[in-house]
Structure 1
Amino acid sequence: MSSNTIKLSLFLCLSMCLGIGILRFSYTALLPGTREAFAWTTNFASLLGSANLLGYLIGAFTAMRLPQDRSMAHYIQMAAIAGVFSLLCCAFSGFSEIWYISWRVISGISGGLLMILSPSVVAQCCDLQDRLKINFIGFSGIGLGVLVATLFLPYLDQMSIQTAWLILCGFALFICLCLSLLLQQFKPYLSTQAATNLPKNSLNSVFYSLLTVYACSAFAYIPHSLFWVDYLSHQLELSLFWINFNWILYGLGSALGALTAYALARKFGNFSALKILYSLYIVAILLATAKQSSLLTFGSSFFTGLLNPAVVFLTSYTILQLYGLAYKKLWSIATLCFAAVQLIGGLSFSALQYLGLSYYQQFVLAACVLLLGALQLFWCTHPARLKSHESTRSLAAQEEGSK
C-alpha cells in the first residue's frame, strides 16, 4: 500500500473508533458500574442512552447540511475535541442530571459528525482502486472501539468507575491528536468548493432499498444495544463473569465485522454479500431467545456484534461506489434515517417493556422487522432488476469481475 493509502486507512479507522466505538458504545459497557457508583436510577440511565441517540441524530443532520469542501477537516477536529470533553465530564459524580444529559447529547453529536465527515474526506482523497481496502480498514475502527470498551469489564471490580472513564478519555485524547496531525496532510487534497449534489432523478429503487433495510437494522439492533446486559443478568440470571464474557464476545465480533463484510464482498459482490449478512443478522437476533443454551447465547452476542459494523461498512461502501461525489449527502441521509429509527425504536421498545412485552417477544419483533427489510432488498436487487438500472451497471460489472 502507498503511504497515502495507509494514512487514509488509519485516519478513517481512528475516526470510527472514536466516533462510534468509544463515544457511543463505551456507555453501554460501563453502564452497570456507572449506575451503581453514581447512584443513578434505571430510568435516568435509560434517558442518558436516549440522549446519546438524540445527539447522534443531530450530528447526522448537521453533517448533511455542511459543505463538502475543505471545511470538513475543521468540523472533524471540533467533533473529536468535544467528544474527549464529553468523556471527561461524565467521569465524575455529584453533578446535576442536566449536566450528564448535555454531555451525552454532545457525545452523540460528535459521533454523528465523525461517522459522516470522515468517510467523505477519504472519498475525496483516495484513488478509485483503493476505496474498498481503505473503507474496510477504516470501518474496522468501529469494532476496535467497541473492543476497547469491553476490555475494561473484567477489571471493573479492581478499579473505580471514574478511572475507567478517565482511561477511555485518555484513549480519546490520543486519537484526537492523531486525527489532527493526519488532517493537516489531507487538506491540500480537499476541494476548496462544495461538490455538486447528485440530481434527484438519478436516484432509483436500489438506493431506497439500501436505505430501507439499513433503517430496519437500526430498529432490530436496539434490544441488543440497550437491553442485552439487563436481559443477561435478570432474565437469564447469569453471573457477572458470564455477563462480561458475553460482552467480550460482542466486542470480538465487532472487531471482525468489517473484515467479514470485506471478504464476502470480494467473493460474492456487494449486493450478494449484503443479503448474506442481513440473513445471518436475523438468525443472530433470534438466537437470543434460546435461553436453554449458553452456546446459543454466546453466538447471539458474537454475531450481533459482528454483523452491525459489517452492514454499516458495506452499506457505506456500496453507496460510495454507486453515487461517487454525492456520497456525503446520501450517506448523511442513510445515517440520519438510522439515527432517527434507532431513537424512535429505543423509545418504542422502552414503552413496550413498560407495557409488559417480554424480552423474547422484543427479540422476535426485532427479527421480523429486519426480515421485512431484507425481503425488499432481495426483491429490489435481484439480478434481473439490477440490469434495468443504468446507475448500477458499472458496479454490477465490477462485482462480477471480483468473483
Structure 2
Amino acid sequence: MFSITQRLSVFLMLSTGLAVGILRFSYTALLPSTREAFEWSSNFASVLGSANLLGYLIGAFWAMRLAQNVKMLHYLTGAGVIGSLSLLCCAFDGFIGTWYIFWRVLSGICGGLLMILAPTVVAQCADASKRLKINFVGFSGVGIGVLAATLFLPYLDRISITQAWLILFSFAVLFTVFIAKLIYPFHQQLDHNTQTQAPNTRPDGFYKTLILVYACSAFAYIPHSLFWIDYLTQSLGLSLFWINFNWILYGIGSAFGAFTAYLFAVKFGNLKALKLLYSFYVAAILFALMPSFPLLTFLSSLLTGLLNPAVVFLTSYTILQHYGLAYKKLWGMATMTFALVQLIGGLSFSTLQSFNVAYPQQFILAAAVLLSGTLYFMFYVRRYELDFKKEVTPQT
C-alpha cells in the first residue's frame, strides 16, 4: 500500500509529532486550565515543566547509548505506549505532587527516545537520495502534534480539563498504533543490516559550532514553549478566543517549519539557510516585546512555532549529510545537548519568575542568547564554506 519512502516519512512524522508535539507541547497548551482546575501553584506548574525537560534529557542520553539494531524498534513502540500512559495518569486530580512529577519525567524520557531513535531508523533504512524528503516530511510531525494538541482548545470552556487530557491520550494511542504498524516491515531489514560499529567520528570544529547555536536556540525558545500561554493570559489579559488563536498560529507555524527549512536548503544550501532561519528566530522572539501591536504578537506565535522545527530538522539533516554513519551518535549528542540546555533554561526562567522578573525581560534574555550564538555561527562557518560547497545540493 505504501512505498518504503512513504512508510518511513509517515513513521517519522508520527514519531516526532508524538515526541514533541503531544508529549511535550500539549502541556504548555493546557497549563493555565490545568493549574486552575487542579489548584496547582505557579511554582509547582513550573516544576512539572522542568520535570519533562529532565526526562527528555534522560531519554536522549539513553537513546544515544543504545545499539543501532532491531531493538530500536521495540524501544520506539515501548516509548509510545508509556508516553501515552503518562498522559492518562495526568488527567485526574487528587494525587500527590510526586505522582505528576513521575509521569512528566517518564513522558520526557519517551519523547527523547522517539526523537533520536526514529530518525536513526530512517537513516539506516532509507536510500541516501530520499533522505532529505523523508526528513522534511517527518520533522513536520512536530507541528502536526502541536496542532493535534490545539484542536480542542476552543472548547476548553465547554469540556473539563480531565476530558482534554483524555483527548490527548487518545491521540497518543492512535499515533503509537500507527507507528508500530508502519515500522513492522523493517524488523527484518534492521536485523540483517545491523551496523556493528559506527565510525568513531570525533566532533570537529564545525560540529561544535553547529551544536553551540543549536543549544542557544534550545535556551531561547523556553519562554514561548513553556510560558507563552501564561504570558498571553496573565500579562496581556487576552480572552480565551485570542489565546487559542495565538496557540493555533503556533501550531500552524510548527506544521510548516520543516517544509520551510527544506525550501531554504534547496535555494540557499544548508549553511546559509541556517543563518537566515536563526536570524528570523531572534526577530520572532523580539516581536513578543510589542504587545500594543497585535499583528506582531501573532507573528511571534507563528514564527517561533515555525522556526523551532525548522532548525531542528535542518540541524539533523546537516549532521546526517556530512557525518554519515556517525549520525546516531552525533545526533544523539546534539539532542542531549539541546535537552540539557532546555532543562537549564527551564530552571533559569522559572527562577526568574520566582524573583518576579517580568516576561519582557525574559524575552530579551532569550533573544540575546540566540543572537550571540547566531553571530558566532555566522563568523565561524566562513572557514568551512569552501568545504561545504562540495555538498550535494538537495534535489526537488
TM range (shorter): over 0.9
Local SS of the residue matching 2:221: helix
Q: Does 1:142 align with 2:159?
A: no
Give the structure 1 partner of residue 365 of structure 2: 365
Q: Aligned pair in 2 of structure 1 residues 293, 199: CA closer, same or farther (>3 Å)?
A: same
- The answer on whether the counterparts of 1:380 and 1:386 sit within 8 Å (CA) in structure 2 is no
Q: How does 1:316-355 map to 2 (within 5 A)?
A: 316-355=316-355
Local SS of the residue matching 1:137: helix
- The answer on whether the counterparts of 1:14 and 1:175 sit within 8 Å (CA) in structure 2 is yes
Q: Does 1:122 align with 2:118?
A: no
Looking at structure 1, the residues matched to 31 and 78 of structure 2 have their Cα atoms a distance apart, in angstroms, of 26
Give the structure 2 partner of residue 196 of structure 1: 197
Give the structure 2 partner of residue 103 of structure 1: 103
Uncovered stretches (5+) of structure 2, i.e. residues with no partner: none
Local SS of the residue matching 1:87: helix
- The answer on whether the counterparts of 1:196 and 1:325 sit within 8 Å (CA) in structure 2 is no
Give the structure 2 partner of residue 304 of structure 1: 304
Percent of residue pairs bearing the same amino acid type: 62
Runs (4+) of structure 1 exceeding 4 A deviation are none
Give the structure 2 partner of residue 386 of structure 1: 385
Local SS of the residue matching 1:288: helix
- The answer on whether the counterparts of 1:77 and 1:180 sit within 8 Å (CA) in structure 2 is yes
Q: How does 1:3-82 map to 2 (within 5 A)?
A: 3-82=3-82
Looking at structure 2, the residues matched to 326 and 81 of structure 1 have their Cα atoms a distance apart, in angstroms, of 29
Q: CA deviation at 1:354?
A: 2.4
Local SS of the residue matching 2:256: helix
What is the one-letter code of the residue matched to 2:330?
A: L
Q: CA deviation at 1:194?
A: 4.1
Q: Does 1:232 align with 2:232?
A: yes
- The answer on whether the counterparts of 1:51 and 1:101 sit within 8 Å (CA) in structure 2 is yes
What is the one-letter code of the residue matched to 1:100?
A: Y
Looking at structure 1, the residues matched to 84 and 384 of structure 2 have their Cα atoms a distance apart, in angstroms, of 46
Local SS of the residue matching 2:57: helix
Q: CA deviation at 1:162?
A: 1.1
- The answer on whether the counterparts of 2:15 and 2:179 sit within 8 Å (CA) in structure 1 is yes
Looking at structure 1, the residues matched to 379 and 196 of structure 2 have their Cα atoms a distance apart, in angstroms, of 33
- The answer on whether the counterparts of 1:54 and 1:343 sit within 8 Å (CA) in structure 2 is yes
Give the structure 2 partner of residue 183 of structure 1: 183
Q: CA deviation at 1:369?
A: 0.6
Looking at structure 2, the residues matched to 19 and 52 of structure 1 have their Cα atoms a distance apart, in angstroms, of 11
- The answer on whether the counterparts of 1:124 and 1:189 sit within 8 Å (CA) in structure 2 is no
- The answer on whether the counterparts of 2:28 and 2:227 sit within 8 Å (CA) in structure 1 is no
Residue deviations 1:1-48 (CA, integer Å, cap 9, x gap): 971000000100110111111011111111111112222221111111
Residue deviations 1:65-111 (CA, integer Å, cap 9, x gap): 11111111111111111011111111111111111111110000000
Aligned residues: 395
Looking at structure 1, the residues matched to 276 and 389 of structure 2 have their Cα atoms a distance apart, in angstroms, of 21
What is the one-letter code of the residue matched to 2:112?
A: G
Out of 45-54 and 350-359, give the one that drifted further: 350-359
Uncovered stretches (5+) of structure 1, i.e. residues with no partner: none
Q: Aligned pair in 2 of structure 1 residues 163, 313: CA closer, same or farther (>3 Å)?
A: same
Structure 1 length-normalised TM: 0.95
Residue deviations 1:257-306 (CA, integer Å, cap 9, x gap): 11111111111111111111000000000000012111111110110011
What is the one-letter code of the residue matched to 1:329?
A: K
Structure 2 length-normalised TM: 0.96
Q: CA deviation at 1:381?
A: 2.0
Q: Does 1:245 align with 2:245?
A: yes
Q: How does 1:248-259 map to 2 (within 5 A)?
A: 248-259=248-259
